[in-house]
Structure 1
Amino acid sequence: MLEKLEGSHGCFVCDTSGTNPRSLMLEIYWDEERHNTVISFTPDISHCGYEGVVHGGIIASIFDDSMAWAIKKETGSWAVTATFEIRYKMPVKVGETYTFQGKIETARGKKICTSALVKDCDEKILATASALFILKI
């Protein structure tokens, strides 16, 4: 069973309150069994970098939220992104539904290493990300 997380007012990715009129308004869920976030995204033409293909910055933004929310859920604290790496393997296309997942890999003190991926409806991984976050304790 997935737990719906509240989202952040004003966030470009997960504000569903209307505070940010440009928000993607994505809902973020927590999978307690797998200890990862789950975000579904069906891009439209306004998300393109070029015709039919989603801009890499949109993908990066969703990755960042997927990992940040995994930290928030697991630790109860927010963290800031220190380093971030993405590997784009295949294009994310308009009109299809994708699933983003983020999780903690390791945690040492204030430093938390995370990973994320995006899959299509056939479970093919189209891109992966890793990041180092610093807790805001």
Structure 2
Amino acid sequence: MSTPDTSLQDTAAPDGVCYGCGGDNPHGLQIKSFWHEDGVHVIAEHMPEAKYCGWPDLVYGGLIAMLVDCHSNWTAMAYHYREEHRDAASLPRINCVTGNLGIKFIKPTPMGVLLTLKAKVEGEVGRKTRVICEVYAGDVLTAVGDSVFVRVDTGQLAAVAHGR
């Protein structure tokens, strides 16, 4: 079960290789998502490294999009586990992929400030699930993601992608 000390990623997919959130990718960001104590939101924090600078002293928008994408996807999966009354470590693993990624940049995001991502499902949890994800630099809202994640069988998805 995901606890305040164990992320959803480490609980459900300790062998994950995603560049953004895979704990088994030594070159990736290894984002960690946790249920918030309110039971509604899923939270993650990230301190951007200098190499993710866009304009001088500002975070590259592509990094913000990646953070929103990975964290929102884990939010959708967390809600699926909860909807099915299942522990995130239970099998079969629940997987979702991005169906639509929408980002609205509200204010410039400064470098050197801890980013907090706060996400929740908007509407019903289903094959396609809408997630709203707010990005804060300190206490300042700098971006909002409004995206859709699709529950899939990743084995079938990879086979289709490779023409098998």
Task: Please give the range of the TM-score, normalised by the shorter of the 2 chains.
Answer: 0.7 to 0.9
Paired residue type of 1:21: P
Match of 1:29 among 5, 30, 34: 34
Match of 2:72 among 67, 76, 84: 67
Task: List structure 1 segments (4+ residues) > 4 angstroms apart after TM superposition.
Answer: none
Given that residues 70 and 103 in structure 1 are in contact (C-alpha distance below 8 angstroms), is that contact kept between their aligned partners in structure 2?
A: yes
Classify the secondary structure of the residue corresponding to 2:107.
Answer: coil
Q: Give the TM-score of the pair, scaled to structure 2.
A: 0.72
RMSD: 2.0
Paired residue type of 1:74: Y
* 1:103 is the counterpart of 2:120: yes
Q: Give the TM-score of the pair, scaled to structure 1.
A: 0.85
Given that residues 3 and 30 in structure 1 are in contact (C-alpha distance below 8 angstroms), is that contact kept between their aligned partners in structure 2?
A: no
Match of 1:79 among 96, 99, 112: 96
Structure with more helix by fraction: 2
Higher-Rg structure is 2
User: What runs of 5+ residues in structure 1 fail to find an aligned partner?
Assistant: none
Alpha-carbon offset, residue 33 of structure 1: 2.0
1-structure distance, mates of 2:46, 2:115 = 5
Match of 1:128 among 144, 147, 151: 144
% of aligned pairs identical? 22
User: What runs of 5+ residues in structure 2 fail to find an aligned partner?
Assistant: 82-93, 154-164
